[in-house]
Every structure is written in C-alpha cells, then in structure tokens.
Amino acid sequence: MNSNFSGRYWSLTLGMSAVLSAVPLVVSAQSSDELERQRRLYQQAQTLLDQSSYRAYEQLRTSLDDYPLTPYLDYRFFISDLKNKSAQDVQDFVNRYRALPFSANIKARYLNVKYQQQDWASITQLYDTPPRGQQYQCIYYTAKWKQGQQSEAFAGAKKLWHSGQSVSGYCDGLFSAWHSAGQRSEQDVLERLVLTFESRNLSLMTYLAKRLTSQKEQAWSSQVIELYRHPERLTTLAKAIASHAQGERILISHLYRYARIDDDKAYQQLTWLEKAKLINLKSRKKLANYIAGRLLDDDGELNQWRDNTIAASGDDALVERRFRVAATKESWSAMRDWIDKLSDEAQQTTKWRYWLGRTQMALGETDKGKQTLSSVLGRRNFYSVAAADALNVTPKISGSTLTYQPQLIEKYHTVLTRIEELIDVDKINAAKGEWYWLLSRANADEKAMLAGYAGEQHWHHLSVFASIQAKLWDNMQLRFPVAHQWWFDFYSKRNQLNPITLMALARQESALDVTARSPVGARGLMQIMPATARHTAEAFELDYQNSDQLFEVQKNIEIGSHYFKELMDQYDNNRIFSLAAYNAGPSRVTRWVKRTDGKVDAYRFIESIPFRETRGYVQNILMFELYYRDRLNQPGPFLTAQEQKARY
C-alpha cells in the first residue's frame, strides 16, 4: 500500500459487524511474484504505446488479460487510432468500459477528431441528442447542418447564439450559414446585445450593435453602450432606453452593476427611476435590497434607509448579514432586534436559537436565556456546542457505526481491485477518479458500504469522500479517520502545538487528500501555497527544494505545522485568529480585528467574519477538533481559557 496515501501511522476502528474478506483484494488472488511480473509487463506495454510500436504492443497485451489496470492500456490503444473508428466502434467501447471514468470522455475526443475530418455522418450516428458542452454542441449542430438537417441545426444555432459571452469558434460556420439563410433576425441580435450588457461584455456589445440594420435599433443600442460606459448619465439616457421593449432589463442590470461601483449614487438613481415610474415594483424591491446589502459596511446618511429596507425585505440571508454587522460593533439589544426580523422558520434553527439565548442572557433574561440555550444542546452543530459552552456543560457528541453488508458491493469487486492496484503503484489521482466515478453510480446503501470498505483499507480520503456522499453525518470514524498521526505528533511537539489542531486543520483543508491541488495552487494535505512554503522554509531553515514536495505527507505536515506555529506566535496562541489567517491571510484578520476593536467575545468575533468560507472554516475546525478529541479519548475545552478570556 502506498504510504503517502494510506498513511503509515494510523488508528481506525470501524466497529463493523462483519469482516471485509468477502470482497477479496488483488494480492489474495495472485502471488506477489506474479503481480510484480504483470506490473513490469504493464510498464513495458505503456512504453510501447509511447513509441507507437503497436504491433509489439498487441503481442504483449495478450499476457495482461488478468492484470487490473489493463483497461487503461486498452483505452490508450483505442484512442491512438480514433480517426479510423466508426461511431459503432466508439459506442461499443464505451459500453464495454462503462465502469471506468475514461468512458465519459471518449465521445468528446471522437467528436473533435471527426470534426477535423469533416466526417459529419459519424458524428450524427454517435449522438441522438445534443452532447453537453458548448464546443461539442457547436460540432453536433454543424454536423446536422452539413447533413442537410437545417431546421434542427438552425434551431440549435439560435440557442447557442443567445449568450452574453463569446461562443466557441466551432460555431462560426454554423452561425454564418444560419445568418446567410436569413434565419438570424434583428430580434436575435437585440436579445444577445441585452445578454452582453447583463454579462458586462462591452467588446461583444459593441460588435453586436454594428450588426443591427434598423436605424432605430442602432440609435437605441448606442444609448445602451453610452450608459454602460458612463453609468452616471442614467437620468439623461433612461427615458429613451426605457421606451424600448428591452429597456427595463437594461436599466435593472445597470443598477446592479452601478451599485458595485458607487452604492450611494446607485441609491439616488433607484429613487429617480422609481419616481419616473421606469421600473416595476418587484424589480425595485430586489434592487433596493441589493443596494441595502452593498451599504452594510457604510456609516453614512443612508443607514436608516438601509435598515428600514432590510427590515422589510423578508430576506433571511440579508437580515443575517445585517445581524453580523450588529454582532461586530453594536449592542446586544440591536442584535436581538435583528433576530426578531428573521422568519419564524429561521428563528427555530440551532444557530438562531443560540443567538437568541445569548442575547436574552446579556439583556438580563438569564433564566429564559438558559432555557433557550438548553433547547439546542446535544446536536452535532457548532452553535449547539457554543450553547453548551455558554451554559458551562460538557457537549455530547452523538455517533453511529456501520453494519457492514458485503453483498451490497460484491458487484464492484473488479473496480475495488483496480483501485487498490492504482494506489499500490502510486497512481493516486487515477484511483481518486475511479472512486468518484464509482460513487456517482452507486445508490445510497452502496455508498455507505463503500465508505466502510475504504475505511477498513485505510484509504483515508476516499473514506471521507464516500461518507459525505453517503450522508453518514453521525459516523465519526469514517468521516474523521486518524491519519498520519505519527507525523502530526512529531511536528506538533517540535512546534509546541496541539496535534489534534493540526489533524483537524488538515481534515478541513484537504479532506485528508495528500494529492489535493486547489484552483489557486495550494497543495497537499494542509493545502500550502508554494510561496508560503518558500517563506516558511526560509524562516525556519527547513529543507525545501520544490513545490512537488508538498504532495509528500512528511514535508507537507512539516511546513504546514511550522507556518501554523508562526501564526500562533503572531496571535498569542489564539486558534481563532490563527485559523482565520491560515484561510484568509493575516492582513484580512488585522482588518477584522480593527472593526471589532476589542469589544466582542470569541463567538461574536467568529460570527462577525465577513467571508462565509472563512467563518465556516473556523467553525468547522473547532468542531473537527472536538470530534478528534472524542475519537482519541483526549478531553479538552472547546475554546481555551485564554481564548475565552480574550477580547476581540
């Protein structure tokens, strides 16, 4: 088993009612020597495919019928000659390998090849309905047009044309034919121009305006573009724009955009449009709510209008944002007032029962506050634990175990064997792809059994992912496997940190996926940015050569723990500040601390964090610590005495 993936040091007890030997693994089916021989042959076959030595490959392939990863060879060999395959060949291959994730992209590859060959018949033979994806729909409808099916092709062209952004170049020929056939109307151009305004695409808007033929429409489009370029000129342009059938859409879209540029002036324009009766009441209310939301951080003369608008909005999400402002810098009484503005349904949730109880206690209604807080105890929820903390009682963590039923996943024996082999040969991303694909086809009961199977195999990330897919929210053993404990213990001692904090942080950051890579480039178990790694390695004189090392468990935990130590030192061992900084950056935490100005407690500060992601991040890790302490039988406070005492 690959130690970087499965974890060399682990502790996991599932409490299942049956052992997992009912689903045998590849090693039990083959001798170790035979498996190693097949692995060598597999690598030789890959090399032959790299060299395009197809005849030699086909001879070698006959020796690999029983090797779990052979389908990947079949896939490579099949696509190497895709230009000579028929539509039926492709469909047969997809049907044969439907259990593998690569089956989902073969048709798209085939479409591209046949488009280059202008083999329109093969394209229409392969697809009865339009494929997913704009590029592939362009190819599909182009093939329909080339096959003489103009009605369907031009209907598709019209649908694809109506986009506020540029459309794939694969549609160029189709659009030209649609236009030449006289099928593209002035209304089509106008509709797309409005869509580009709503999508804020000035260059495409200007292009479309030149495609209008009517002088009246040309004049109107010029006014629309003028408004986009000079949003402050609304009162000059509004009536002329509003006279058009599409005018109100333009004015509404304009105000949403202008509110992001200058919320005060957007309010003035909204008031003017309302008096001029140029927008309908429903749109006016939505715009007012939006502008009020943009004004939440302002302390100007529009505060009263903002608060009145939010109070009357009936929008729980907007009221919650206003409550957060109150939690940041206003009184407990103001917080209570905003809780009262929430819907009855929202007020009954754990979160809002907690805050109601806190405000009741702060305002002198101690008995009532305790009763309210007591009503939410015993739930697996941040606010339930916060309520227990407020009442000075120990939170109770409910849990469940999984009754294992191996017969439910016997049909996935081949897939599970293949996944294990991928892990053993360090093809972790391919293993993840197979796992995700398997779960996408499994039903709820099967997902639960697969989560249990992954847990027993110590496939930590796969266990976590499957437990989430199966909604096993109460199964702490599967959702929070104890992975890489030796390294967490080692580096926590070196940096005088709590290892459970590091484990909880890694669980939140990557779901224990050692090969995780975020869209912005964070890598590995603790999701470290390469720049952060370089800074930390230099600051602590750590051996660090390149960003690929961040996919190594030991190196990732070493650098991540040292960086977190740096944050804990900066914030006087306060996890709340340190976790927020780990997620959003120290500079943002500095700004947030200035806003609260030492006037709120820990829970109000967490609630005041303006970024939903960071707010949830801090709450999650505090909860994950609680779960891991329960799993490892290491009791401890939810917040330390220092964190409780601190003012934020």
Active site residues: 509
Strands (E), 425-574: 482-483
Burial of 129 (0-12, 13-18, 19+ CB in 10 A): exposed
Candidates 128, 70, 124, 131; CA nearest to 106 is: 131
Cα separation, 180 vs 577, in Å, equals 63
- Amino acid (one-letter) located at 337: D
Cα separation, 159 vs 322, in Å, equals 41
Report the residue count for the chain.
648
Cα separation, 141 vs 156, in Å, equals 6
Phi, psi of 412 (to 5 degrees): -100, 15
HSE-up of 88 (CA within 13 Å, CB side)?
0
Alpha helices in 279-381 (DSSP H): 281-294, 303-311, 316-329, 332-340, 344-347, 350-362, 366-374
Cα angle 536, 538, 539; round to 5: 65
Cα separation, 642 vs 140, in Å, equals 64
Strands (E), 429-552: 482-483
Contact 377, 360 (CB under 8 A): no
Q: Is the dihedral of CA 614, 615, 616, 619 positive or negative?
A: positive
Q: Give Cβ neighbours of residue 227 (< 8 Å, ≥ 6 apart).
A: 233, 234, 237, 241, 250, 254
Cα angle 299, 305, 308; round to 5: 115
- Amino acid (one-letter) located at 219: A
**Angle (deg, nearest 10), helices 234-242 and 247-261:** 160
Cα separation, 645 vs 648, in Å, equals 10
DSSP letter (8 states) at residue 101: G
Q: Which helix (H) or strand (E) holds 10?
A: strand 10-11
Q: Give Cβ neighbours of residue 405 (< 8 Å, ≥ 6 apart).
A: 18, 445, 449
End-to-end CA distance of the chain: 47
Cα separation, 80 vs 260, in Å, equals 51
Burial of 418 (0-12, 13-18, 19+ CB in 10 A): buried
- Amino acid (one-letter) located at 284: R
- Amino acid (one-letter) located at 520: V
- Distances in whole angstroms, Cα of residue 347 to Cα of each of 109, 318, 324, 352: 52, 14, 15, 5
- Amino acid (one-letter) located at 239: K
Q: Give Cβ neighbours of residue 139 (< 8 Å, ≥ 6 apart).
A: 111, 112, 115, 123, 170
